[in-house]
Structure 1
């Protein structure tokens, strides 16, 4: 990883975050994508600003973004930017604060630098491989939870379906945040014990957060405990689970 990748991501995230804030609570034009999810003029403006800043500085890097067409050329690149311009678009359009920008660099299928920037909350989570995870410049760490009983779990309601668990749903303390990138960063911060999704996860939702959680000491895998690989042809992973080692093992053991 070039030594300047993380500073580049931070600068781009903060600049694009200002663009997002200009549209926030200002009734930007919105429409539905083919999967019926919302998108707005703000998403596209932020996406364009990030692409100009990042690919302008690293023209040989590939580009994978939720809001850009994917022509597959990124698959031949040694490095690839993986970006979600606004993660938590529904919350953003509702005027809530729990949305953010997710920016990462992948090299050889592995995330080497990541930023989750939350402009409305004035929070910037950062990580570079083997260098730890930080929130607004202060190092952070995951919890040491080992048991599912009363562990705080960030996930959607669908996860708690009884069919997903061997012997009934464990006694989690149930929590939720609309941005998946933010959920992973919160695990890295130690404010919550774990996050997971059992559904296929888009890479742009989890790339940056996966490194932040891992560098903070959490174990981050797919829903079966396998390694996550990025800049893939499918652009998806088989779910994701991020938790401290003991709790991670306990959740995997409890899952059906």
Structure 2
């Protein structure tokens, strides 16, 4: 990465952080106000007027500022032209819509700049909690302006993991005894941010997460010293034709092997 690249990504980070805050303010205007809700993906996923309004705010700011960048958002019809762009924005205007609609605070605006398949700038903004996570490629991760790092909990101490009970049951006892389950965190992006700031040691990501759920959080975790990988240890690539992903693990390096080993066992074995 050149000095020119670094300067550009830092400029992009300032841009997306400002846009995320403004979109978060828009979303807050609908919070606890019973916004209109529709259902997508054959009735499995809610989307609200707040999602669309926050998406419009992000699109109006970001596309005007970087008209040569591609665009991929959960709430915008996909445009295959993005595949021809080396750089693009990947957006989730509200990650954790179910939590948002239930009046819970664990939801966030997720904005990433992706270059050649990997994030180079990323922001997560949780308006109710007044938390801003941000990172740029090659730098450190920040939460509200302070550097964050992943947990350094010793391996002989039980680690705290966000993982479904049915998944944990398949772990061998030796691994299971080193894991303390934490309560469900409805926003996947925020859950990965919790790994980045050391509140939990790791999390399992079920198959069918999407680029917009992951890209910003992935970079923040990486810059905090953690990793998001598939069961073969490979980091996800973004802006492919297929934007969904298989099973993934996010953790501090010392805990990652145990998590991959446990997840990789056949269910019920």
2:262 is matched with which residue? 254
2:30 is matched with which residue? 23
Counterpart of 1:80 (choices 73, 88, 96) is 88
Distance in 2 separating the partners of 1:131 and 1:241: 22
1:188 is matched with which residue? 196
- The alignment partner of 1:120 has SS state of coil
* Kept after mapping to 2: 8 A contact 1:167/1:254: no
* Kept after mapping to 1: 8 A contact 2:150/2:195: yes
Moved over 4 A (4+): 166-169
Distance in 1 separating the partners of 2:231 and 2:205: 7
Alignment of 1:28-177 (within 5 A): 28-36=35-43, 37-145=45-153, 147=155, 150-162=158-170, 165=171, 170-171=176-177, 172-175=179-182, 176-177=184-185
Q: CA deviation at 1:168?
A: 8.1
Q: CA deviation at 1:253?
A: 2.4
> Given the two structures, how large is their TM-score scaled by the length of structure 2?
0.89
> Given the two structures, how large is their TM-score scaled by the length of structure 1?
0.94
2:12 is matched with which residue? 5
Question: CA RMSD of the aligned region, Å?
Answer: 1.7
Q: CA deviation at 1:174?
A: 0.9
Distance in 2 separating the partners of 1:168 and 1:83: 39
Any gaps of 5 or more consecutive residues in structure 2? none
Distance in 2 separating the partners of 1:103 and 1:158: 31
Compare 141-150 and 77-86 and name the one that shifted more.
141-150
* Kept after mapping to 1: 8 A contact 2:124/2:217: yes
1:202 is matched with which residue? 210
Q: Deviations over 1:34-62 (max 9, x none)?
A: 33211100000001110111111001111
| 1:125/1:66 CA distance change after superposition, 3 Å | same
Q: CA deviation at 1:167?
A: 5.8
| 1:209/1:148 CA distance change after superposition, 3 Å | farther
Q: CA deviation at 1:201?
A: 1.6
Any gaps of 5 or more consecutive residues in structure 1? none
